[in-house]
């Protein structure tokens, strides 16, 4: 079965007839592909059964697709899994991980048969869902459905950006494609709609999504919860849509040959498969989705498929095929290397820029250049950050920015560089539209090209839309920078729907996410150094309202923000109070301290822009700030107090938000919620 649903605006419109004219696969190749497919089924059944946990349905249903892609089609070199111009493959339906592990093992990646046998076991490189930081050949961590589609769109866009920057008429060093396998769940998750819409708008002709349309979800038949016309939806996005029998090798070959030769826009291949294909009693039902088949069903399935009953059986013919294929894969990379070497000789300046991006090289004078940047205060944190961004843009070719339709508010625009647009990928500013979740998944994909450090912006309260993508970025240490603005109730009249109160705590709760809330232009500049140096994601939390500069924060990165917390006002005697503040509340803390000193009190003030950096300091340094009797401890931050008592103790006072905000001018809200010098003195004296 082969049908084509081509986007109405496509100049090239493949037809069912044109595909039928393609000759069928070479019989010998088809025979070995069938053997590989059944080997994938056997390994997956056995691994899930041995673990007594997992999802055998997708691996069995998509076995022909795996055999064809990893056994024939993908341009990869398993012995150099980080080859820059390799085709990328993402399993968005990450629950089917044994499909991917089987394919990677057979293809020659660093996954042994013993690793397959230890599926889902502690410290095994074959965990329950694919993890990019654990397993050779896995391009991104997946599991929460739909996000792999976003990562794929981000990677595809990233390679279009790199091709526009580095390819020449004479040499094309970036011409790879990005493939993603998604299931019914991925199609239903809203994030896939966000990114698919943008991919169609940008006409990403290096992106191929394969939809495992097995019509079964975990709870039962898809028809019980979904009856949409997915073909029409993707055509409306501007994609070319192909529909095939996903278990028919001839149909698979015909479509993918067509795509390799003629792709002009994103392609969706709807592959109708039978979930759990080969299992005589459970195939085609939800019972094979997320549970082991059981010994009797496996025995019957192997008999039906003609697979020996031996556990983890791999035919010698399959082993020989992949061993013979490995030198061909290496030759593919060698040909590219020859092209690259010729390109490097012809383009020494481009080579220098490529190496800067590939290794994320930061200038030796980064800090001094930022310190020399004149920013007139008082100024909003978001505007100070934009000034820093526009300086950094000239220094760091790896920096690409974007916003979810808020660039004039979150101040993310690189003013010297154009917008990315359909067919125009020379720019460095990406308009993601009102698609916060999709934007965050795509940013992770941009980073995964290995050459781009993306930053993306929106209001802090909308980080909730992005949260699961931020979490996955943190899980795999993706170097993404989030510019979150409008950071407190002091944004004013937009009211509680836009005023974050729980968001500092919510973001700080994510392991490996570096959260920084700078107090003025000095700390904003140093926060960017922290974000660029950290090998993981950073959330920059920035104000909408103007903030004064404090002379006390004008210190080196190593003595200030780089410490996470540092003293900005030293007590003159034994402290009566220690005030700890972040962001816009630091200047308030300094004013409170001045008033206390006029009352004869000794006061220490600590700026604490980044808890994460502080926790990495030595015990001696931590004690120099918080050790011993330092008087009554008071935290001042316009958010919930969750987490602050670690630093202020049970008896400390948290000047915080205990409820949602309100719609009113910032000054009125400060008085209403106790963020004035007078109110704080009343609380602590």
Average pLDDT value for residue range 116-128: 98
Q: What whole-number distance in Å separates Cα of residue 422 and Cα of residue 201?
A: 6
Closest CA to 275 of 55, 34, 49, 101: 55
User: How would you classify the pairing of strands 546-547 and 379-380?
Assistant: antiparallel
Q: What whole-number distance in Å separates Cα of residue 154 and Cα of residue 151?
A: 5
Catalytic residue among 194, 297, 387, 436: 436
Position 22 confidence tier, pLDDT thresholds 50, 70, 90: low
Closest CA to 372 of 530, 525, 195: 525
pLDDT the model gives residue 239:
98
State the CATH architecture for 27-333. Answer: 3-Layer(aba) Sandwich (3.40)
Structure letter (DSSP) for residue 557: T
For residue 377, what are the CA distances in angstroms to 357, 409, 528, 546, 666?
Answer: 33, 18, 18, 8, 18
H-helix or E-strand spanning residue 107 = helix 97-107
Q: Which residues contact 67 (CB under 8 A, 6 or more apart)?
A: 33, 34, 36, 37, 40, 103, 249
Closest CA to 357 of 327, 398, 328: 398
Q: What whole-number distance in Å separates Cα of residue 53 and Cα of residue 32?
A: 29
Q: What whole-number distance in Å separates Cα of residue 212 and Cα of residue 159?
A: 25
Structure letter (DSSP) for residue 402: E
Whether omega before 378 lies within 30 degrees of 0, making that bond cis, reads yes
Average pLDDT value for residue range 309-323: 98
pLDDT digits (tens, 9 = 90+) for 289-310: 999 999 999 999 999 999 999 9
Give the CA angle between residues 224, 228, 234 to the nearest 5°: 145
At 455, is the secondary structure helix, strand, or coil? Answer: strand
Active site residue 436: yes
C-beta separation of 533 from 491 below 8 A? no
Q: How far is CA 36 from the centre of its chain?
A: 32
Domains 27-333 and 365-553 share a fold: yes
Position 23 confidence tier, pLDDT thresholds 50, 70, 90: low
pLDDT digits (tens, 9 = 90+) for 480-511: 999 999 999 999 999 999 999 999 999 999 99
pLDDT the model gives residue 24:
81
Q: How far is CA 95 from the centre of its chain?
A: 18
Instruction: For the domain covering 565-684, report its CATH number.
Output: 3.40.50.920
Q: What whole-number distance in Å separates Cα of residue 90 and Cα of residue 132?
A: 10
pLDDT the model gives residue 10:
33
Q: At what angle do helices 147-166 and 436-447 cross, to 10 degrees?
A: 50
Q: What whole-number distance in Å separates Cα of residue 448 and Cα of residue 469?
A: 14
pLDDT digits (tens, 9 = 90+) for 148-197: 999 999 999 999 999 999 999 999 999 999 999 999 999 999 999 999 99
Q: What whole-number distance in Å separates Cα of residue 88 and Cα of residue 91?
A: 10
What token pair was written down for 149? 């589609």
Listed as own residue / partner, the contacts of 73-79 with beta carbons closer than 8 Å and 24 or more positions apart are 73/256, 73/260, 74/179, 75/176, 75/177, 75/332, 76/107, 76/329, 77/329, 77/330, 77/332, 77/333, 78/104, 78/107, 78/108, 78/109, 78/137, 78/326, 78/329, 79/108, 79/326, 79/329, 79/330
Average pLDDT value for residue range 124-133: 98
Res 12 pLDDT > 50: no
Residue numbers belonging to the annotated binding site for Mg(2+): 184, 214, 216
C-beta separation of 520 from 545 below 8 A? no
Closest CA to 128 of 54, 41, 226, 30: 54
Q: What whole-number distance in Å separates Cα of residue 91 and Cα of residue 151?
A: 10
Q: What is the pTM of this model?
A: 0.96
Q: What whole-number distance in Å separates Cα of residue 610 and Cα of residue 615?
A: 9
pLDDT the model gives residue 514:
98
Name the phi and psi angles at 634, rounded to 5: -135, 120
Res 368 pLDDT > 90: yes
Query: What is the CB-side half-sphere exposure of residue 81 using CA atoms within 13 A?
Result: 17
Position 5 confidence tier, pLDDT thresholds 50, 70, 90: very low
Domain ranges across the chain: 27-333, 365-553, 565-684
Helix (H), strand (E), coil (C) string for 49-96: HHHCCCCCHHHHHCHHHHHHHHHHHCCCCHHHCCCCCCCEEEECCHHH
Instruction: For the domain covering 365-553, report its CATH number.
Output: 3.40.50.970
At 501, is the secondary structure helix, strand, or coil? Answer: coil
Residue numbers belonging to the annotated binding site for substrate: 55, 289, 382, 409, 486, 494, 498, 544
pLDDT the model gives residue 574:
97
C-beta separation of 141 from 133 below 8 A? yes
What token pair was written down for 69? 């892609």
At 632, is the secondary structure helix, strand, or coil? Answer: strand
Res 685 pLDDT > 50: yes
Residue numbers belonging to the annotated binding site: 55, 95, 143-145, 184-185, 214, 216, 289, 382, 409, 462, 486, 494, 498, 544
């Amino acid at each position: 079965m082969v049908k084509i649903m081509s986007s109405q605006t496509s100049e090239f419109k493949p037809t069912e007839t044109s595909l039928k004219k393609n000759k069928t696969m070479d019989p010998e190749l088809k025979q070995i592909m069938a053997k590989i497919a059944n080997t994938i089924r056997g390994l997956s059944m056995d691994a899930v059964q041995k673990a007594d946990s997992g999802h055998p349905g997708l691996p069995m249903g998509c076995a022909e697709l795996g055999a064809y892609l990893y056994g024939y089609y993908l341009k990869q070199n398993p012995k150099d899994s980080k080859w820059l111009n390799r085709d990328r493959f993402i399993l968005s339906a990450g629950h089917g991980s044994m499909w991917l592990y089987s394919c990677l093992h057979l293809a020659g990646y660093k996954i042994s048969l013993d690793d397959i046998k230890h599926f889902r076991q502690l410290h095994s490189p074959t965990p329950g869902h694919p993890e990019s930081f654990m397993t050779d050949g896995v391009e991104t961590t997946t599991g929460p459905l739909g996000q792999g589609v976003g990562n794929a769109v981000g990677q595809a866009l990233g390679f279009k950006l790199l091709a526009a920057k580095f390819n020449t008429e004479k040499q094309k060093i970036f011409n790879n494609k990005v493939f993603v396998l998604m299931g019914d769940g991925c199609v239903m998750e809203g994030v896939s709609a966000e990114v698919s819409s943008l991919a169609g708008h940008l006409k990403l002709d290096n992106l191929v999504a394969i939809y495992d349309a097995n019509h079964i979800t975990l709870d039962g038949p898809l028809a019980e919860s979904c009856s949409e016309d997915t073909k029409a939806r993707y055509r409306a996005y501007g994609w070319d849509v192909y529909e095939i029998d996903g278990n028919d090798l001839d149909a698979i070959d015909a479509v993918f040959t067509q795509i390799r030769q003629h792709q002009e826009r994103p392609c969706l291949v709807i592959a109708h498969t039978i979930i759990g294909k080969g299992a005589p009693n459970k195939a085609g039902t939800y019972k094979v989705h997320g549970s082991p088949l059981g010994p009797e069903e496996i025995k019957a399935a192997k008999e039906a498929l003609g697979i020996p009953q031996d556990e983890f059986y791999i035919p010698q013919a399959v082993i020989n095929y992949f061993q013979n294929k490995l030198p061909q894969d290496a030759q593919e990379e060698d040909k590219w290397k020859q092209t690259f070497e010729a390109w490097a000789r012809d383009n020494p300046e481009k080579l220098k820029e490529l190496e800067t991006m590939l290794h994320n090289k930061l200038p030796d004078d980064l800090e001094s250049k930022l310190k020399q940047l004149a920013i007139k205060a008082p100024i909003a944190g978001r505007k100070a950050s934009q000034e820093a961004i526009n300086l950094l843009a000239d220094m760091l070719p790896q920096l690409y920015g974007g916003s979810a339709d808020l660039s004039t508010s979150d101040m993310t625009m690189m003013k010297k560089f154009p917008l990315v647009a359909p067919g125009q990928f020379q720019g460095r500013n990406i308009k993601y539209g009102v698609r916060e979740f999709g934007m965050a998944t795509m940013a992770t994909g941009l980073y995964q090209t290995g050459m781009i450090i993306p930053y993306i912006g929106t209001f802090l309260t909308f980080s909730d839309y992005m949260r699961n993508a931020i979490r996955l970025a943190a899980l795999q240490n993706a170097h993404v920078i989030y510019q979150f603005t409008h950071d407190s109730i002091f944004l004013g009249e937009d009211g509680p729907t836009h005023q974050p109160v729980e968001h500092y705590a919510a973001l700080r709760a994510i392991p490996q996410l570096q959260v920084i809330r700078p107090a003025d232009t000095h700390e904003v500049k140093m926060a960017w150094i922290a974000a660029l140096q950290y090998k993981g994601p950073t959330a920059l939390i920035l104000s909408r309202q103007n903030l004064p500069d404090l002379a006390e924060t004008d210190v080196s990165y190593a003595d200030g923000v780089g410490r996470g917390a540092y003293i900005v006002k030293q007590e003159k005697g034994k402290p009566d109070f220690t005030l700890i503040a972040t962001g816009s509340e630091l200047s308030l803390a300094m004013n409170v301290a001045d008033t206390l000193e006029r009352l004869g009190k000794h006061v220490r003030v600590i700026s604490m822009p980044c808890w994460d950096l502080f926790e990495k300091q030595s015990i001696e340094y931590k004690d120099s700030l918080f050790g011993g009797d330092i008087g009554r401890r008071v935290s001042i931050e316009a958010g919930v107090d969750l987490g602050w008592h670690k630093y202020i103790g049970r008896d400390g006072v948290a000047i915080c938000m205990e409820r949602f905000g309100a719609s009113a001018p910032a000054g009125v809200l400060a008085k209403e919620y106790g963020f004035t010098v007078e109110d704080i003195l009343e609380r602590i004296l």
